[in-house]
Structure 1
Amino acid sequence: MISTTYLNLEKQSAVNVGAEHTAREIMQQPQLWLDVLALIASQKIELESFLNPLYSLPNLRIILTGAGSSAFIGEAAAGLVQSSTGVITQAIPTTDIVTHPELAFNKAIPTLLVSFARSGNSPESVETVHLADEYVDDIYHLVITCNRDGELAEYVKNHKGNSYCLLLPEEANDKSLAMTGSFTSMLLSILVIAQLKNLGNVGEKVIAVSEHADEFFAKHLGDFMEIAGSQFDRVIFLGSGPMLGVARECHLKLQELTDGQVVCKHDSFLGFRHGPRAVVNEKSLLVFLFSNDPHVYQYERDLAASLAQDSRSLPIITYGAWYSDDFRSIINLAPRTSSCSAGEFRILSATLIGQLLGFYKCLNLGLKPDNPSISGAISRVVQGVNIYRKEK
């Protein structure tokens, strides 16, 4: 009898420690990405029929929105979407739009609102769609969601003239509290959709990052288990451009899965010099998420080299460092020369770092990854949010 294992835990052991869903949902991502790619390819004609007329609109604006991790998708993707489509693109969280819609929207500018939602039931996400309808004359909606029964999916069913819903595979609808596969599959979706006209080339990159993630799991799970057993209570994630959004997601994932016992921070490499570096203490773990752009890497390398010389000999994890550079890292993931074929999609595998650190540190602290919040202060779908109508 062949036993099923997830992240080096046998299935029954994972069940016993409250980790089954999270472990499976992290581990299945490489295949899930291929499934999402196939799904989008199967809807290519319909998506182009919806999007191409919008791209021809003068002054079209794209807003990427969501709450929590779903907002960080937009932060990571905005620049890449703008580069691919040639359309001004901004990431604005639903949590900002709900309180200040008049600052987020411009009534006279045609707008495509892209909503990312695992459940599609978060009060802010639902309200943001309605506010967009109210505050923008020429509004269009692209909903990317993991839940066919969510309110956002239902909204599109009733507004087909100006809306499109990409419903992701059921495997993307995480059952655990922390968003893992749902985050990366929605991030992947918008990157692919922004490059529909180059789907063949995009497909090669998605396959490359899927293969890299499989290699990641095969080679490095033991490393993450060992790191999780070390004494750190503060983790700083640094990234630039799209990697900054991923750093923010890694920050949240680790902090969320450890129920706040590990405090995290994220920043850009250049921004970290301007004061935030003061947060580093002797129990800090540093994570460098390097760019694959040689020009950007020069700036990142300078700060990384400085931190590597810190007299406290802080543990460092690097992602994408050049082989020739020595940052005294305890683990170097995805050397630049082996990840270049994935191009901009390498931000997907970088996201795994926060997920795995969070998962194993959660177990190390005696918490349950599927539901790490002892007090119940955080939940799978946010609770306690009242929506108030704003008088104009």
Structure 2
Amino acid sequence: MTYVLGVKEDKLKEIDGYITAKEIKQQPKLWRETFDIIKENKEKLEEFLNRAKKDKVKVIFTGAGSSSFVGDSVLAYLKRELSLNVESIATTDIVSNPENYLDKETPTLLISCARSGNSPESKATVELAEKMVDNLYQIFLTCNPNGTLAKKASGCDRKLLLLMPEDSNDQGFAMTGSFSSMVLASILLFKLDNLDSLESNIYDIANVGEKILTEKIDLIKDLTSLDYNRAIFLGSSSIKGMAKEAALKTLELTRGKVITQYDSSLGFRHGPKSIINDKTLVFSFLSNDAYTRKYEIDLLKEMSYEDGDKKIVGITYYEDESVKKLVDYYISIDDNKKEDIFSLFSYLLIAQMYAFNRSVILGNTPDNPSPDGTVNRVVKGVEIYPYKG
């Protein structure tokens, strides 16, 4: 009998959940394929980026929903690594207030992240940038070769199409492999000189991911069996970007039956901590940076001493007894420490597994959690108005 994410395959098909489960499970394969795509296109990417860098471009990552969190997840890392101004701005912000983000005289590299490439805001952002920015370069990072964005990439040497692996074009409602593939591609795009040294690292992340999918499922199912209706996801820096995506996945797949929030460990104290009640799960995704980790452990200590029936889940990349004794549930990933930008892939799997299995427990249909059409796989009903600024 075949199980996927701890659920019988036959049951998954019966409850309309097989597609999403399969797409979560196949991500390690997609990460290997994403690395291979970047490596195969290295010369073309280098030539394009070198031209853009000579113009001292400002880099803007953009997208809507989960696609906007791609930029949020890589932003802090790339700001540190690059001698360029890097920003992450959602298409949903650019479209409504383009003059706040697009500047005629500032050379700009717009990196449009999109699963389908068909959302109204993605198309409108590209058109606004082409209208408003004199010196514009564009990279279309998308999973759909037939989408609007992919088609817009042709016919100009200032545009480059970077297609993700074929199976990253998720057919389920929730973005899973599409998100993680675009995050990885965004990192590697600016590490082309280091691909050879990174190869073993990326393949190790994929191998660890496959272990997580089998070895951590029982603990995840213990968490999803708790009758808790609030989930908080905490992380610092790049991991905070991933925590945004974790919160959205649980909210989407449970159709709002689990209310979610994300924050940093330090930021959580400044008001957002008010959300905690006796039906709250707090997921703390710990940094591998020793300095950052001090602040995160301080919050764990604080919450562990407080009254109430909330449950704290500590997720650490490496074994750490000091964390283990402060939390109700403890997950360690691997013996080898990783930079936070790479540990977030393992953390993301944990979050997705929780979101999926909680959806199943609640009787939802994960492949289409909103069958009444309140929300859709590709957003509908957005009217784009002419901009005359």
TM over 0.5: yes
For the Cα contact (< 8 Å) 2:139–2:160, is it kept in 1? yes
For the Cα contact (< 8 Å) 2:300–2:326, is it kept in 1? no
Query: What pairs with 1:15-26 in structure 2 (closer than 5 Å)?
Result: 15-26=13-24
Query: More displaced, 44-53 or 78-87?
Result: 78-87
Query: What pairs with 1:193-208 in structure 2 (closer than 5 Å)?
Result: 193-208=189-204
Query: What pairs with 1:165-314 in structure 2 (closer than 5 Å)?
Result: 165-314=161-310
Residue of structure 1 aligned with 2:71, choices 49, 66, 74: 74
Query: Which consecutive segments of 4 or more residues in structure 1 shift more than 6 A?
Result: none
User: Secondary structure at the residue paired with 1:235?
Assistant: strand
Give CA deviations for 1:270-313 in whole Å, capped at 9, x if unaligned. Answer: 11111111111110000001111111111111111111222114
Letter paired with 2:98: P
1:93 and 2:105 are equivalent in the alignment: no
Letter paired with 1:137: D
Deviation at 1:26, TM superposition (A): 0.3
Letter paired with 1:371: N
Residue of structure 1 aligned with 2:358, choices 343, 351, 361: 361
Give CA deviations for 1:237-264 in whole Å, capped at 9, x if unaligned. Answer: 1111001111111000000000001000
1:325 and 2:337 are equivalent in the alignment: no
Deviation at 1:10, TM superposition (A): 3.3
Whole-angstrom CA distance in 2 between matches of 1:287 and 1:267: 11
Deviation at 1:4, TM superposition (A): 4.2
**Identity in percent:** 36
Deviation at 1:374, TM superposition (A): 4.1
Task: Normalising by structure 2, report the TM-score.
Answer: 0.96
Whole-angstrom CA distance in 2 between matches of 1:123 and 1:386: 8
Whole-angstrom CA distance in 2 between matches of 1:350 and 1:381: 26
For the Cα contact (< 8 Å) 1:212–1:339, is it kept in 2? no
1:120 and 2:117 are equivalent in the alignment: yes
Q: How many residues align?
A: 387
Whole-angstrom CA distance in 2 between matches of 1:110 and 1:323: 49
Deviation at 1:165, TM superposition (A): 0.7
For the Cα contact (< 8 Å) 1:239–1:289, is it kept in 2? yes
Letter paired with 1:184: S
Deviation at 1:340, TM superposition (A): 1.3
For the Cα contact (< 8 Å) 1:206–1:342, is it kept in 2? no
CA gap 1:305/1:86 in 2 versus in 1, 3 angstroms: same
Give CA deviations for 1:313-352 in whole Å, capped at 9, x if unaligned. Answer: 42121121733333543432335x6241465211111111
User: Secondary structure at the residue paired with 1:338?
Assistant: coil
1:40 and 2:38 are equivalent in the alignment: yes
Whole-angstrom CA distance in 2 between matches of 1:134 and 1:4: 53
Deviation at 1:151, TM superposition (A): 0.3
User: Secondary structure at the residue paired with 1:214?
Assistant: helix
List alignment gaps of at least 5 residues for structure 2.
none
Whole-angstrom CA distance in 2 between matches of 1:18 and 1:11: 11
Give CA deviations for 1:151-182 in whole Å, capped at 9, x if unaligned. Answer: 00000023x31011111111100000000011
Query: More displaced, 382-391 or 368-377?
Result: 368-377
